[in-house]
Amino acid sequence: MTDTHALTELQLAILHIVWEYGEATTQEVHAAMAEVRGLALTTVATLLSRLEKRGVLSHRKEGRQYVYRALVTEKEVRHSKVRELTASLFEGDPSALVRHLVRAHEVDRDELERLVDMIDEADRSGS
Task: Domain ranges for the chain, please list them.
Answer: 3-70, 74-125
| Residue type for position 94 | P
Closest CA to 67 of 17, 107, 113, 103: 17
Q: What is the mean pLDDT for each group of 10 consecutive residues in the chain (127 residues)?
A: 69 96 97 88 96 97 96 93 91 89 81 87 80
Task: Determine the CATH number of domain 3-70.
Answer: 1.10.10.10
The H-or-E segment that residue 22 falls in is none
CB–CB of 52/7 below 8 Å? no
Q: Which residues pair with 113 in a beta bridge?
A: none
Strand order in the sheet with 57-62: 24-25, 65-70, 57-62
Question: What is the three-class DSSP state of 62?
Answer: strand
- CA dihedral of 88, 36, 42, 81, whole degrees rounded to 10: 20
